[in-house]
Amino acid sequence: CPQPHYVREYTLVLLRSQCGSQILLGYKKRGFGQGKWNGFGGKVEVGETPLAAAIRELHEESSLEVRPADIRLAGRMLFQFADETRVFRVHIYTGSRWTGQPVESDEMRPRWFNLADIPFDNMWPDDAYWLPKVLAGQSVIGYFLYAADKVTVLHHCLRDLVEP
């Protein structure tokens, strides 16, 4: 029978160049998702809002600074692995205003990608489903159930985010 799930809150920030033709991704050097390109983010701490956590994690991992009004909620995703009881709830933000230059950190190696060259083959497989929608300006909610191999998407659903 179904087990209670432990929902862990995470953030993910995708910055878009001002002309809109590029996005900033980071190559994850260690920990969860090592070896993949992804947006910048991490765990929401106790007592912290997802927005504050998104800003803090972006700064820790890339040195870039954004103000709360500079990023907007673009999605909320639930990720589950068939062999685990925990569920990741990831709050996704986008923006195209920041200060500073992206700097490599212990965790992430930042790089700008043209929208036509996003390295989907070297990203979490769910990204190919939702990232094009977010880049088209849509806000989405979704659920992805992965097999234990953490590669195969067994089930997914994706809908417009109606309420922020």
Residues interacting with ligand 6OG, by CB under 6 A?
10-12, 31-33, 38, 41-43, 79, 88, 90, 124, 126-127
Rounded CA-CA distance 123/114 in Å is: 15
Kindly tell me which of 62 and 126 has the beta carbon lying closer to ligand 6OG. 126
In the complex, what is the shortest distance from the CB of residue 41 to ligand 6OG, in angstroms, rounded to a whole number?
3
Kindly tell me which of 149 and 163 has the beta carbon lying closer to ligand 6OG. 149
In the complex, what is the shortest distance from the CB of residue 63 to ligand 6OG, in angstroms, rounded to a whole number?
16
Kindly tell me which of 43 and 56 has the beta carbon lying closer to ligand 6OG. 43
Kindly tell me which of 6 and 32 has the beta carbon lying closer to ligand 6OG. 32
CB of 114 within 8 A of CB of 105?
no
In the complex, what is the shortest distance from the CB of residue 123 to ligand 6OG, in angstroms, rounded to a whole number?
7
- By beta carbon distance, the residue nearest ligand 6OG is 41
SS3 116: helix
Cα 146 to its chain centre, rounded Å, is 16
Q: Which residues contact 111 (CB under 8 A, 6 or more apart)?
A: 24, 25, 26, 27, 37
Residue 146 bridge partners (DSSP):
81, 153
Say which residue the tokens 């070297």 belong to. 122
In the complex, what is the shortest distance from the CB of residue 31 to ligand 6OG, in angstroms, rounded to a whole number?
5
Q: In this structure, which amino acid lies at residue 15? A: L
